[in-house]
Amino acid sequence: MTARVRVPLLAVLGVLLLAGPFLGMSGYLARTVMLVGILSLLTSGLNIVLGYAGELAVNQVFLYAVGAYVAAYLGSAHGVTDVLAVLAVVIVAAVVIGLVTGIPGLRLGGWSLAMVAFFMVLILPSVVQVLEKYTGGPLGLSTPVPTIFGQELGERGIYVLIVAAVVVWFVIARNLIKSAHGNAFLVLRQSPILAESLGISVFRLKLVVYVIAAVPCAIGGALFAWLDGFIAPDTFTFAMALSVLAASMFGGATSIYGALVGALLLQVGQQQLTAFSELELVIYGVFLLAAALVFRNGLTGLFRTLVAQARRRGWLPAAPSAATSAVRTAAPARSGGLEPIEGRTLSCRGIGKRFGGNQALDDVSIEAVPGRITALIGPNGSGKTTLLNLMCGFYTPTAGSIALGETVISGLKPFKVARAGVARTFQTPMVARGMTTRDFVAAGRYTERKVSMAASVLRLPSYRRGKRADEADALALLELVGIGQVAETEVSELPLGTRRLAEVARALAARPRLFLFDEVASGLDPADLENLERAIIAIRDAGGTVVLVEHNFPLVLKVSDTIHVLSRGELIASGTPDEIQRNTRVLEEYTGSATAVTDLELAATDSEGGH
């Protein structure tokens, strides 16, 4: 189902739900709709932090309790019942609690973070007891009827309030996820290293994710407090935390509307199984196991898979973008086509790097200048990738310094090095799952041409201009490297060689001063290799500074202007391709013989003749 069909359909559904009580909806059904909506808010918060950002911060029930108690306390203790005023305070509380509870996520990860989050849920009764003056302790707290502009909301008013809040939140979530910020979340989920190489501060982005995901949970708590008019600690249980997790897994953690599907399934299931409430934890355990084994991407993921299979078999018409891609033929890479690049000189002076007792690099000094291709070669374990990691900030040298132009970049955090103008590819391509190739390439521009979250959510003109520019640039760069036909294909599904070319396009999108290519030719077929050569030469001709770490010696001899050779962490030779292939020490390292000149010469000759 395309967005042009899905969005109007959901809008109509939202209007019908809002009008439900006025169209004869029963009280039981109305309450079910409200409870599904509230649970979907919690599930949506979990989907953002876990499904999209990959953080196991499963403390949604704690945040839910915060929202409920804030709303109840403001109403019962201070007489503040205005919906807008209370929700404003609840959102502020969510932001504060989201920041504070997000701190463990900056140090922890995986199941360690999940255990901390679950612990927060388990200690809720104790927290409520300690704050009995404000929470009512085990006896609970009554919540006055909410008002809008001084008018009390009746049953219908509360229903409309809850459904409207859910609709507004899912519009916000949809617009945010379907933007460059949502793609940044997917990059973070894939790898913090990839995120930092794009100039993204992992520290800041994690905090942003925690805060955004906290807001719907706290709002859901306030809505629940108004719905029942009373809250107590036994509402916010570990079983409820498991129900949110189960709803996310069943609906689809990486689906915007999967939260609604999962919440509907879980809420209706709870109501039908009230006789088995004592087996609640067992039932949720079975649900989670089934979701993990059968519905790995949730029901929405299963639906997408079935639709894709139906399209492949011709049972359904192809999606417009897929149809366009299918009929296109692979375009050769354009020669040139790059705007001038303001390259900067890379200077590595006396670089040393020690890992415990292992001296990985020892007094290495090299220079790479704009408009030239500088290659680093050497046997496995010679220190090439270590030096590359030092250049982009993932390691800090134990001796020496690295400068880009006049700026010393050694010792800077990786995202700051990236923002200084350094882009790289990886020995094993790092691409984000759940993104089209075009979006992945456009992610390289995230920190350079950033559109605010507010503009993205509200779909302001600045968002639309930025999106059009990013997509046009990404498509042009994919054409440059000869893979424009895969623009709408999910990047993680591409063959290895094509993923490498997509990484090159992503690096180009950042418009850096310095390009670091790590084994980028590995796994490429002859056609892709030719496209790669053209792209690297285009970068050089545009004025970029290129450092190429590569085992493909014929490619190195063909495109490089200067070659540096490393062996056992030491720089053993530097020179032109002609000088290097005749250097006796280099020959000994590669062939074991100082007289085996013909091996390297023939490799270079074969490469030139083959192109």
484 within domain boundaries = yes
The length of the chain is 611
pTM over 0.75: yes
Instruction: Provide the CA 458 distance to its chain's centre, in angstroms.
Output: 21
Binned at pLDDT 50, 70 and 90, residue 326 comes out as very low
368 within domain boundaries = yes
User: What are 49's two structure tokens?
Assistant: 């932090």
CATH of the domain at 378: 3.40.50.300
149/81 Cα distance (integer angstroms): 10
Strands (E), 177-311: 230-231
606 within domain boundaries = yes
Residue type, 404: L
Residue 428's DSSP bridge partners are none
Q: What's the pLDDT at 353?
A: 94
Binned at pLDDT 50, 70 and 90, residue 280 comes out as low
Q: What's the pLDDT at 230?
A: 93
Determine the average pLDDT of the residues in 406-420: 94
| Per-residue pLDDT at 274 exceeds 80 | no
Q: How confident is the model over 435-453, as pLDDT tens digits?
A: 999 999 999 999 887 789 9
407 within domain boundaries = yes
Q: What's the pLDDT at 287?
A: 64
Q: Which has the minimum average pLDDT: 116-120, 252-256, 282-286?
A: 282-286
Tell me how many domains the chain contains. 2
Q: What's the pLDDT at 395?
A: 93
Compute the radius of gyration of the chain from its Cα atoms. 29
* Residue that is last in its domain, among 221, 236, 251: 236
Compute the mean pLDDT over every residue in the chain, rounded to the nearest whole number.
Answer: 85
User: What are 362's two structure tokens?
Assistant: 């020892």
**Ramachandran sector of residue 304 (left: φ over 0; alpha: ψ -120 to 50; beta: rest):** alpha
* Residue that is last in its domain, among 218, 236, 254: 236
Q: What's the pLDDT at 322?
A: 37
Check if the beta carbon of residue 343 is closer than 8 Å to that of residue 515: no
Q: What's the pLDDT at 597?
A: 46
328 within domain boundaries = no
Determine the average pLDDT of the residues in 19-23: 84
Query: β-strands 141-142, 545-549: how paired?
Result: unpaired
Determine the average pLDDT of the residues in 81-106: 90
Which of 6-15, 26-35, 280-289 holds the top average pLDDT? 26-35
Which of 13-17, 116-120, 387-391 holds the top average pLDDT? 387-391
Residue with token string 């919440």: 263
Q: What's the pLDDT at 285?
A: 65
Residue 490's DSSP bridge partners are 436
Residue 347's DSSP bridge partners are 367, 403
Q: What's the pLDDT at 271?
A: 66
455 within domain boundaries = yes
**What sections of 131-178 are H helices per DSSP?**
132-135, 155-177
188/205 Cα distance (integer angstroms): 8
Instruction: Provide the CA 384 distance to its chain's centre, in angstroms.
Output: 28
* Residue that is last in its domain, among 236, 260, 284: 236
313 within domain boundaries = no
- Domain of 477 in residue numbering reads as 346-610
149/145 Cα distance (integer angstroms): 13
282 within domain boundaries = no
User: What are 324's two structure tokens?
Assistant: 């366009």
The answer to whether residues 393 and 517 belong to one domain is yes
